[in-house]
Amino acid sequence: MPATYEDQQFFIGGRPTDSVSGRRMDVTDPSTGKVLTSVPAGDAADVAGAVAAAREAFDTGPWPRMSGRDRGRVLHRVADLIRERADELVEVESRDVGKPVTLARHVDVETVAQQYEYCSALAQTLDGSVRDTPIPALAYTRREPLGVVGAITPFNFPLILSSTKIAAALAAGNTVVHKPADDTPLSALFMARLLADAGVPDGVLNVVTGTGPEAGDALLRHPGVDKIAFTGSTAVGRRAASVAGEHLKPVTMELGGNGAHLVFADADIEIAVGAVIKAFVFNTGQFCMAGPRLLVAAEIHDTVVGILRHAVPGVPLGDPRDPATVIGPMAGDQHRKKVEEYVALARQEGGQIVTGGERPALGGDLADGFYYAPTVITGLPADSRVVNEEVFGPVLTVQSFADEDEAVALANSTAYGLAAGLHTRDLTRAHRVAGRLDAGIVWVNDWAMLDPAVPFGGVKQSGFGREYGPEALEAYTKVRSVVISLPPTTATGEQS
């Protein structure tokens, strides 16, 4: 077993630390179903230790007191180290989540390096402004860090989603306690050591592994935590926001999604179908920004479904270690079971399975992995639960629309509002429809074009607050106003 998987411990106050209780939880390789390693199972006592370290680092340590430029220099070293150690990070993320290595390298690891590069620049932009007032005073504002940030992250993009929070929070001068997902915690522990190697001072980033109801809940309630940055399901987010609300902690909520992908009759069908496939098989459909609801103009419905029927089974599925693999296993057997339940429900609801709808037959080491064939379903009614709920797996439902108004109405008919996309050659329509969709981000003629400079977040039940872009600093800073009395003076400098 590579060294990375041995002796997994929390990272608190700059040191590997074991849990107070000594309890541990297994981490499984989803591609084989075999136990890979274990991590400490943290609880309130461990969270208290991590918050104390983060508090001390914030109250007395150098990080919040450094200039933004100096913090930026350290964050840039983090990006450099990520690139130097990319092979190890790819290995950890692929083993832990079941991610195809090509995806892990070109999306996860590369994105995280870019996030730190971007945030190293952002750290230097924390500024305020002078306010013109009629009162005899110099009035100005400053942007200041919030304090200790509690970050809680989901299983599907562990590296990217934790770095989204941590890089921005650190850029602003905060310190962090991170609780990664129960079943994919390894890259968080790896990154904590990497940040320390890059020169992030002790106590600035602390990682406690454990379950949501134990470690996560303790983080939400801890009085020493000044802000909660949560990414996860809408159901858990709702509970987390209410606990944080009891304690009057500000929260950022990045929650579930169920993106609509609209294909108008004038679209470039080849480009559109490529994007449609990407949008539901990417990361084996475990993707908050997935596009699992295809809405296609009635006149091209049968053509598009015909192309999907032939193209989808050809997407390479299998061993995540094979560089050609596009679809790996799901990250856990419980996630696959949920998908199977939804596909069974789709059959009951009258849906027709165009392709997929079963576990693929794989042999050897992969026989017990958590694989599920990419599945396309037509014929579901508009009020189908499979259409309206977040399946979070490689499942695409297809509905047709008669005109633009119906397309928009169907797109906006779920409780979610994270991502949406549309395909058309008509630029006027692209602008018009993009402005009508309930979504924090809208892609035109592609899917999942993301960049650390472009803000990301949801509306409706997909949450609130924005990450990425300069907007991220608003989530991790507070504004202080300073008003200095300047009594009017005479020309000789005496008070008049």
- Told to check if 213 binds ligand NAD by CB under 6 A, we report yes
- Told to check if 30 binds ligand NAD by CB under 6 A, we report no
Q: Which of these, 257, 331, 253, lies nearest to 287 by C-alpha position?
A: 257
- Told to check if 161 binds ligand NAD by CB under 6 A, we report yes
Pairing of strands 375-378, 395-401: parallel
**Closest residue to bound ligand NAD by CB:** 212
- Told to check if 469 binds ligand NAD by CB under 6 A, we report no
Evaluate whether 469 touches 118 at the Cβ level (below 8 Å). no
| Nearer CB in complex with ligand NAD: 275/290 | 290
- Told to check if 207 binds ligand NAD by CB under 6 A, we report no
Q: Which residues are catalytic?
A: 165, 254, 288, 467
Evaluate whether 374 touches 394 at the Cβ level (below 8 Å). yes
- Told to check if 448 binds ligand NAD by CB under 6 A, we report no
Binding mask of the shown chain, residues 136 to 155, with x at each position contacting ligand NAD by CB under 6 A? ----------------xxxx
| Nearer CB in complex with ligand NAD: 50/418 | 418
Evaluate whether 215 touches 42 at the Cβ level (below 8 Å). yes
- Told to check if 240 binds ligand NAD by CB under 6 A, we report yes
Pairing of strands 395-401, 293-297: parallel
Evaluate whether 477 touches 171 at the Cβ level (below 8 Å). no
Among 233, 355, 413, 445, binds ligand NAD (CB under 6 A): 233
| Nearer CB in complex with ligand NAD: 72/216 | 216
Secondary structure of residue 231 in the 3-state scheme: strand
| Nearer CB in complex with ligand NAD: 154/369 | 154
Length of the chain: 496
Among 255, 387, 391, 437, binds ligand NAD (CB under 6 A): 255
**Burial annotation 298-316 (CB, 10 A radius, 16+ → b, else e):** eebbeebbebbeebbeeee
Pairing of strands 137-145, 293-297: unpaired
Contacts of 261 (CB under 8 A, 6+ apart): 275, 276, 279, 291, 293, 294, 295, 420, 421, 422, 423, 447
Other residues' Cβ atoms within 10 Å of the Cβ of residue 351: 23
Among 14, 212, 393, 394, binds ligand NAD (CB under 6 A): 212
- Told to check if 162 binds ligand NAD by CB under 6 A, we report no
- Told to check if 231 binds ligand NAD by CB under 6 A, we report yes
Restricted to residues 325-354, the positions that interact with ligand NAD (CB under 6 A) are none
Among 23, 239, 338, 478, binds ligand NAD (CB under 6 A): 239
Positions that interact with ligand NAD (CB under 6 A)? 152-157, 161, 179, 181-182, 211-213, 216-217, 220, 231-233, 236, 239-240, 254-257, 288, 390, 392, 418, 458, 462-463
